[in-house]
Amino acid sequence: MSAQAQPRLSPEEYLEIERAATTRSEYFNGRMYAMAGGTFNHGCIIGNLIGELHAAFKKTTCRVVPNDLKVRVASDGLYTYPDVVAVCGKPEFADGEKDVLVNPALIIEVLSPSTEAYDRGFKAVQYRKLPSLQEYALVSQAEPRIEIFRRQTNGEWLLSEYAGTQAICRFASVNCEVALAGVYDRIGFEGEDPFSVHPSY
């Protein structure tokens, strides 16, 4: 006997379930998809990004939020938890709960071997549908490298790449610069002890 297909969930049903859940799930096309946990380095890079952007945003209207805030691409489309989100000016939300942002200016994903194809492919296509989004950044865990896809005035997306700990990454959407040395502070790449490359700690 074949298993019966599970009924599709509405976005409202998803949000009701998700807000009561102890684990996080994405939503797309009526289905919920459980999210995997991250590694230590993954979490540390996110923390470094939050710290660098928070410092850069002082005395501006921009704010940065870590990966516990949902972003809605469309009312019937993708709901997901980007690793880092930045918004400038007044944040707009899907409803009164204020836990689903709909107007991010910048979204950053820290790449993992298991999710890189998803972040570069499906997610990138979905994120580009957000009218407010001006930049989508991919941050490597394997080496100091950040790729930024910027929306152009003609609607095309242009890639800029920053590599090496001496590089300075510019996020034009939020009008700030971030040093890769800060993003990768105390991050040990394969075979490295992060504290051995920062002997002052």
pLDDT per position as a tens digit, 80-131: 999 999 999 999 999 999 999 999 999 999 999 989 999 999 999 999 999 9
* Residue 169 belongs to some domain of the structure: yes
CATH number of 93's domain: 3.90.1570.10
Q: What angle do CA 140, 144, 148 make, to 5 degrees?
A: 60
Domain ranges, residue 109: 39-183
Give the pLDDT confidence score for residue 193 in this predicted structure: 58
* Residue 18 belongs to some domain of the structure: no
* Residue 199 belongs to some domain of the structure: no
* Residue 154 belongs to some domain of the structure: yes
Q: What is the per-residue burial (b if ≥16 Cβ within 10 Å, else e) of 166-185?
A: ebebebebbebebebebbbb
* Residue 146 belongs to some domain of the structure: yes
* Residue 157 belongs to some domain of the structure: yes
* Residue 47 belongs to some domain of the structure: yes
What is the domain count for the chain? 1
* Residue 26 belongs to some domain of the structure: no
- Please state the rounded mean pLDDT for residues 15-41: 93
pLDDT per position as a tens digit, 136-184: 999 999 999 999 999 999 999 999 999 999 999 999 999 999 999 999 9
